Amino acid sequence: MIDFKSALCAALEKAIAALLPEGAPTAEEIGEMLTTPPDPAMGDYAFPCFKLAKPMRKAPPVIAGMLKDALPPIPDLEKAEVAGGYLNFSVSDTYYTVSVLNEIEAKGDDYGRPDFGAGKTVVLDYSSPNVAKPFHIGHLGTTVIGHSLKKLHEFAGYHCIGINHLGDWGTQFGKLIVAYRTWGSKEEVEKGGVDELVSLYVRFHEEAEKDPALNDAARAEFSKLEHHDEENIALWKWFIDLSLREYEKTYRQLGITFDYYTGESFYTDLMPAQVEKLREKNLLTIDDGASIVDLSAYKMPPCLILKRDGSTLYPTRDIAAAVYRHDTFAFDKAIYVTSAQQIMHFQQWFRVLDLMGYDWYDRCVHVPYGTVSVNGEKLSTRTGNVVLLRDLFKTAIEKVSEIMAQKNPDLPDRESVAEAVGVGAIVFHYLSNSRIKDINFMMDDALNFDGNTGPYVQYTYARTCSVLEKAGGIPEANGEYRANAAEVSLLKTLSKFESKVTDAIGAYEPMIITRYLLDVAGAFNQFYHECQILTADTEVAKAFRLRLTAAAKTVLGSALELICMKKTEKI
């Protein structure tokens, strides 16, 4: 099916070319010029004629009138009207009530799916918590933005590889090993999990203040770990297993899985080759004992590759990981979802990749997001201003359960629904804003379930399910129906799905889908209040409205999944 907008652009291209032989815009350029009138009553698309005023040497309203007369016939065009310097176009209702509705029914879950990702591969690096530390609200951004971007890319046909780049290497493991051997016990750690590891780690720092020799011991243990000491390796693996067991609970609640859990340790052996390559290319200079890549030509501080003692650094590991991923997966895009504080770091090592001659360096994309504070204060384990994700989810789920006990006490399978809605509320809240903005996470707002919230959207989805269930199925179209304003408006909203998906991918911005869900839910609820569905006056109206309800359900369901939320048939 050729969509209306493309047909309109093609027609406008012809009309303009007839009036202006030289320098007429292409159909694609016209598509970018098209805007939406402020009032839907004025039309669905508006073409501003101001830019043509100079080359055509005529006033914009005159041009609009000439264009209107020169326009070839456009299918589904209701009317074209001159309004000042604009030429406004109204799409016929039947375009929406027949073409769009039929398309949604025919494509089902594939409706709105763009195809530009077909045959391409994307590697996404996200979540990446530090082992032996609890999963807190600061990790929510990378986890939920990253996974949403994965879903979006998959929807557009990309082959996606999700990598959890665990923080599983470094001297902190030497400290943990010392702490465990000195004060820990197998039973306590098995029982307490990550929490016990954290308290061992905290204790180490307290004791090390009094006894600096502990730091030396820790370095020695980490060095043994690096040299594959069997006992230390076993402990290290155990710590990782314990941590993953904890994280898996959170990932399961979010419905997130990864293709690989290759953390920092995985790349340690791959770094020397890249350091060697940097040397060969004469990119390394020694400065104050450290090996750096000078980036002053790019107006950036130098990129540190090796410490004074010869050990590696964060950029070294990132370079090695990128090369490995490129050689292994032959990606078309590598996406890194990390905090905005690392913007400079990524600019630096992307540039180093370029200097090393890796011509795919520009396929690497850093997707930064803003800092989270809680109740106006920075996150800090020291002052206790941390919100663990498991506690946050638990609070949200409890609150949902209370509301459900009131509103829908007989609902079977209440626990899993409460989890979907409670966790969904937090995810939706987080993905409601532009990712780059800092978030002041306020509990009251996150746990408010009225208005523009996750529960509102899931409630709306459940509502569509409920109506369809009572109807006993979705009927076939059974005659011509003149849709009212609310019905057409809902279909117009549904028809925007694909362009929203495209925009969200282009901007790496899940928020676009979150806001779109609110548009759809709002349009459906308005329709629902204005139109009787099951008790419609005529069978034709009833059939149409049921089909419309099913269409809304389809789009709501697809969009919910794109932002890591679960579809709730009942709530």
Partner RNA sequence: GCGCCCGUAGCUCAGCGGAUAGAGUACUCGGCUACGAACCGAUUGGUCGGAGGUUCGAAUCCUCUCGGGCGCGCCA
Q: Binders of RNA among 303-342, rule CB under 7 A?
A: 304, 306-309, 311, 313-314, 317, 340-342
User: How many Å separate Cα 200 from the centre of its chain?
Assistant: 35
Tokens of 365: 């994309």
Is the CB of 187 or the CB of 413 nearer to RNA? 413
Q: How distant, in Å, are the alpha carbons of 264, 265, 298 from that of 326? A: 16, 18, 24
Is the CB of 180 or the CB of 449 nearer to RNA? 449
β-pair partners for 270? none
- Residue found under tokens 């980490």: 222
Would you count residue 86 as binding RNA (CB under 7 A)? yes
**Minimum distance from residue 332 beta carbon to RNA (Å):** 25
Is the CB of 99 or the CB of 139 nearer to RNA? 139
Tokens of 457: 């959207």
| Contact mark string toward RNA, 189..208, x via CB under 7 A | --------------------
**Minimum distance from residue 188 beta carbon to RNA (Å):** 27
**Minimum distance from residue 259 beta carbon to RNA (Å):** 21
Using alpha carbons, select from 250, 282, 485, 553 the residue that is nearest to residue 389. 250
Site for RNA in 274-293 (CB under 7 A): 287-290, 292
Is the CB of 49 or the CB of 356 nearer to RNA? 49
Is the CB of 302 or the CB of 475 nearer to RNA? 302
Is the CB of 83 or the CB of 118 nearer to RNA? 83
Residue type for position 234 = A
Phi and psi angles of residue 529, each rounded to the nearest 5 degrees, phi first? -75, -30
Site for RNA in 366-395 (CB under 7 A): 370-371, 378
Largest separation between any pair of C-alpha atoms in the chain:
89
Pick from 16, 80, 85, 558 the residue near RNA by CB under 7 A. Answer: 85
Contact status, residue 322 vs residue 334, Cβ threshold 8 Å: yes
Beta strands in 370-448 (DSSP E): 372-374, 377-378, 439-441
Contact status, residue 128 vs residue 92, Cβ threshold 8 Å: no
Report the distance separating Cα 176 and Cα 29, nearest Å: 60
Is the CB of 282 or the CB of 535 nearer to RNA? 535
Pick from 24, 46, 131, 137 the residue near RNA by CB under 7 A. Answer: 46
Pick from 2, 83, 273, 443 the residue near RNA by CB under 7 A. Answer: 83
β-pair partners for 124? 162, 335
Site for RNA in 537-566 (CB under 7 A): none
Helix (H, G, I), strand (E, B) or coil at 122: strand
Q: Per CB under 7 A, which region of 104-112, 185-193, 210-218, 299-307 contacts RNA?
A: 299-307
Residue type for position 508 = Y
Pick from 18, 19, 42, 62 the residue near RNA by CB under 7 A. Answer: 42
Report the distance separating Cα 172 and Cα 553, nearest Å: 49
Beta strands in 342-392 (DSSP E): 364-369, 372-374, 377-378
- Residue found under tokens 């990550």: 194
Q: Per CB under 7 A, which region of 52-60, 69-77, 106-114, 380-388 contacts RNA?
A: 52-60
Report the distance separating Cα 513 and Cα 144, nearest Å: 13
Would you count residue 472 as binding RNA (CB under 7 A)? no
Contact status, residue 265 vs residue 240, Cβ threshold 8 Å: no
Q: Per CB under 7 A, which region of 114-122, 134-142, 147-155, 508-516 contacts RNA?
A: 508-516
Q: Per CB under 7 A, which region of 83-91, 134-142, 221-229, 240-248 contacts RNA?
A: 83-91
Would you count residue 515 as binding RNA (CB under 7 A)? yes
Using alpha carbons, select from 500, 396, 410 the residue that is nearest to residue 458. 396
- Residue found under tokens 């694909």: 498
Burial of 489 (0-12, 13-18, 19+ CB in 10 A): middle
Would you count residue 531 as binding RNA (CB under 7 A)? yes
Is the CB of 167 or the CB of 192 nearer to RNA? 167
Would you count residue 272 as binding RNA (CB under 7 A)? no
Would you count residue 101 as binding RNA (CB under 7 A)? no
Site for RNA in 478-497 (CB under 7 A): none
Site for RNA in 405-424 (CB under 7 A): 407-408, 421
Half-sphere exposure of 150 (CA within 13 A, CB side): 24
**Minimum distance from residue 83 beta carbon to RNA (Å):** 4
Would you count residue 31 as binding RNA (CB under 7 A)? no
Is the CB of 137 or the CB of 160 nearer to RNA? 137
Would you count residue 255 as binding RNA (CB under 7 A)? no
* Number of helices and strands in the chain (H, E): 23, 13
Report the distance separating Cα 489 and Cα 495, nearest Å: 10
Site for RNA in 422-461 (CB under 7 A): 432-434, 436-440, 442, 445, 448-453, 455-456, 459
Would you count residue 521 as binding RNA (CB under 7 A)? yes
Number of residues that bind RNA (CB under 7 A): 97
**Minimum distance from residue 404 beta carbon to RNA (Å):** 5
Site for RNA in 139-198 (CB under 7 A): 167, 170
